[in-house]
Amino acid sequence: MRVKDMAGQMINNLTVLCFSHVSKDAAQMAHWLVLCHCGNQFVTSGGTLRRGKIRSCGCLTPMLIGIARSRPLAVRFWEKVKKCRGCWEWLGTKIPNGYGQLWNEKRHHNAHRVSWQLHYGKIPKGLLVLHTCDNRSCVNPSHLFLGTNQDNTDDMFRKGRENPPRGNRQPLAKLSPTKVREIRGLVAQGITRRELAKLFHVSASSISRVASGEIWAFVS
C-alpha cells in the first residue's frame, strides 16, 4: 500500500512526526505519530488529520468545556430552546424521565426550572415548578406554574398520569370507584364475601381487600 508522506506537516497546531502503521482492518488507514502543542505525543489516522477532526491530544477539551460553561446562563439556555406555537422544546441534554438538564454553578438543573427563574425570578423554598402541558421537555414559561408536592400528586392523579396506573385506569381492572363503594356498602349490610365475589366477578380475597381498604384506598 502506497502511503502519502505527511511527516513534518503542521495541521491545527499538531505536528506530524513520522509514520506509525497501517490499520489491519479493511480500510487500511495510515496512522501517524503526532506532537500536540502541549508536548504530548499520540497516534491518529491521516484521514482524521486531513479532515480537521482533531485539534489536540485531548488537552483542549476541559478548557473548551470551561469556556462554554462560563458564558451567561441565559445565553446557554436560549441556544438549546426551540420555540414552537405551543410547547418550547428543550434541545439540550435530557435525563431518562424526559426532563431537560442544564449545567450551572457546579451542578445540573432542570431546564424548566431554569426557564421559570429566567422569566419570573427565584423559586420559593418548598415549591416545585409544574407543567400544565404534561410535556416534561417543555420550557415555555406560560406552560409552567408553581405548586407543592401535594399539588403535583393531585395533578398527576387528576390527569391519570400515575405510574403504575391505579384503579380502573389499569387495563385489566374489573372494578370501578362506583362498584367499590357499592361493595363496601353491601359488606356493611352483612352480605358475604363469597356472594359479592360471584356478583362482581372477582375473587373473595379481592372483596376482602376492597372492604378493608387495602386496595382502592383512594376511593372514599
Residue 47 is predicted with a pLDDT of 85
User: Beta 41-45 vs 14-22: how paired, if at all?
Assistant: unpaired
pLDDT higher than 60, residue 199:
yes
Residue 122 is predicted with a pLDDT of 92
d(CA 50, CA 7): 13
Contact 52, 12 (CB under 8 A): yes
pTM of the model: 0.47
Length of the chain: 220
Neighbouring-strand partners of residue 89: 82, 138
- How far CA 57 is from CA of 8, 16, 61, 64, 88, in Å, comes to 17, 13, 9, 13, 38
Angle made by CA atoms 47, 50, 55, in degrees to the nearest 5: 105
Q: Which amino acid is at 126?
A: G
Instruction: Name the grid cell of 8.
Output: 513534518
9-27 confidence digits (pLDDT tens) = 888 778 889 988 888 887 7
Q: How many CA atoms lie within 13 A of 84 on its CB side?
A: 12
39-72 confidence digits (pLDDT tens) = 888 898 888 888 877 877 777 665 555 555 567 8
100-149 confidence digits (pLDDT tens) = 999 887 788 999 999 999 999 999 998 999 998 889 899 999 999 999 88
Place of cell 403535583: 152
> Mean pLDDT, the chain, as a whole number?
83
d(CA 64, CA 72): 15
142-167 confidence digits (pLDDT tens) = 999 999 888 887 777 676 665 545 55
